[in-house]
């Protein structure tokens, strides 16, 4: 190799060695990221959504048909099971039965989702309706009638004026004028859970701004009539229509119909009983069951089961608005249903 070629080769080698050892000042080393440690789940953590309860009407979450409170007849219980089976066959939803201990327990069962198909007395229906727990679907008929009324009564000898025509069975004049006679007078009520002997008449008095003296609760409609006839206990009273014709009263006091006057008659606004469905049931499900009831009543087994379980022979389809007047006068009475219904 010539001298010039050797010199060139050495120059290139020196340049490469110098370049490989040089680190520019602008170059910054990138730090290595530390992986985020995994956090262990505690027992209270919920990594997945809570499973929804089974659909209402399935075997795991059946619909519940409630018997009348404290029903203890095996015939009633068996009849309710027949109805449950008929509902299951015709709707495809599983229905079972339950016997609540009391009227208040039945309303509580509606609240807790432990009753879905119910037959309620008037006050239990009103309480459940006020709480948004039930919708009326049928009103129970008695002797072809869907509801009944009440009447204010007083003794002829006490000088009260009647605003009721016994022949036509209708009121005349204004309720406010008729009931004003009872201002500052003492009423006789039947008992504190009687719609016709206390709560609805009290609602009429309050609606017409008639304030009375403290009442006497004499326990029973015939006792109210007797108290008015004999005098000395109260000035006026209220009963169902027409408690004056109670057999023992007519036998004991032959002139009672002449001496005890109807001052004002309250229209037929009090239901006998209400068949309703829990508001926890979807609307389409309620409609399905409501539409199934007439078909069940047309069968021999179904008709007999309704009669035995609930003493129901006939029903009329209704909605809650059918009871608007009943709702209004219960509200006007200002009674606390939750304290009365046991």
In the prediction, which pLDDT does 189 show?
98
pLDDT band for position 304 (cuts 50, 70, 90): very high
Closest-CA residue to 163 (of 138, 189, 182, 145): 182
Please spell the DSSP secondary structure of 51-68, one letter per residue: PPPPPTTBTTB-EEEEPS
Q: Round to whole Å and give the CA distance between 202 and 328.
A: 12
- Is-contact 141 272, C-beta < 8 A? yes
Strand, coil or helix: what is 95? Answer: strand
**How confident is the model over 321-331, as a mean pLDDT?**
98
Indicate left, alpha or beta for 183 from its phi (over 0: left) and psi (-120 to 50: alpha): beta
Report the alpha-carbon distance of residue 315 to residue 235 in Å, rounded: 39
> Nearest CA to 205 among 261, 130, 271, 152?
152
User: Span 263-268, mean pLDDT?
Assistant: 98
DSSP states along 212-262? -PPPEE-SSHHHHHHHHHH-SS-SEEEEETTGGG-HHHHHH-TTHHHHEEE
Which secondary-structure segment (H or E) carries 317? strand 314-317
Query: What domains, with CATH codes, occur in the chain?
Result: 63-145+272-340 (3.40.190.10), 147-270 (3.40.190.10)
Residue 47: C-alpha distances to residues 40, 42, 53, 312 (Å): 11, 10, 18, 52
In this structure, the strands spanning 216-217 and 187-189 are parallel
**Rounded Cα distance, 195 and 210, in Å:** 19
pLDDT score of 13 more than 80: no
Q: Taking a C-beta distance cutoff of 8 angstroms, is the pair 300, 159 a contact?
A: no
For the stretch 65-81, pLDDT in tens is: 999 998 889 999 999 99
Quick: pLDDT tens for 219-230: 999 999 999 999
Give residue-wise pLDDT tens across range 38-65.
Answer: 444 455 555 566 667 789 999 999 999 9
Upper half-sphere CA count for residue 39 (Cβ side, 13 Å):
5
The CA-atom distances, in angstroms, between 260 and each of 46, 141, 186, 244 are 73, 29, 16, 8
């Amino acid at each position: 190799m010539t001298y010039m070629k050797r010199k060139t080769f050495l120059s290139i080698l020196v340049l490469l060695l110098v370049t490989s050892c040089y680190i520019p000042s602008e170059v910054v080393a990138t730090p290595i990221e530390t992986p985020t440690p995994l956090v262990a789940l505690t027992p209270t953590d919920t990594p997945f959504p809570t499973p929804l309860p089974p659909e209402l009407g399935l075997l795991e979450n059946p619909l519940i048909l409630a018997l009348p409170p404290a029903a203890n007849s095996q015939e009633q219980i068996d009849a309710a099971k027949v109805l449950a089976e008929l509902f299951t066959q015709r709707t495809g939803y599983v229905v079972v039965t339950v016997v609540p201990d009391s009227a208040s327990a039945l309303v509580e069962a509606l609240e807790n989702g432990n009753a879905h198909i119910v037959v309620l007395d008037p006050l239990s229906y009103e309480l459940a309706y006020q709480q948004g727990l039930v919708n009326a679907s049928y009103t129970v008929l008695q002797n072809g009638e869907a509801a009944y009324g009440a009447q204010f009564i007083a003794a002829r000898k006490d000088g009260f004026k009647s605003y009721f025509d016994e022949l036509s069975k209708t009121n005349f004049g204004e309720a406010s004028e008729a009931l004003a006679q009872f201002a500052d007078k003492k009423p006789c009520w039947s008992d504190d859970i009687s719609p016709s002997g206390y709560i609805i008449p009290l609602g009429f008095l309050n609606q017409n701004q008639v304030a009375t003296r403290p009442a006497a609760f004499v326990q029973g409609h015939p006792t109210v009539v007797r108290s008015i006839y004999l005098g000395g206990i109260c000035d006026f009273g209220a009963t169902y229509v027409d408690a004056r014709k109670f057999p023992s009263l007519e036998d004991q006091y032959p002139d009672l119909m002449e001496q005890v006057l109807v001052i004002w008659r309250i229209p037929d606004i009090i239901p006998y009983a209400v068949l309703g469905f829990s508001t926890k049931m979807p609307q389409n499900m309620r409609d399905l069951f409501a539409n199934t009831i007439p078909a069940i009543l047309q069968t021999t087994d179904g008709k007999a089961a309704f009669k035995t379980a609930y003493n129901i022979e006939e029903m009329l389809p209704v909605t809650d608005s059918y009871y608007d007047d009943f709702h209004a006068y219960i509200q006007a009475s200002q009674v606390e249903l939750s304290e009365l219904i046991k």
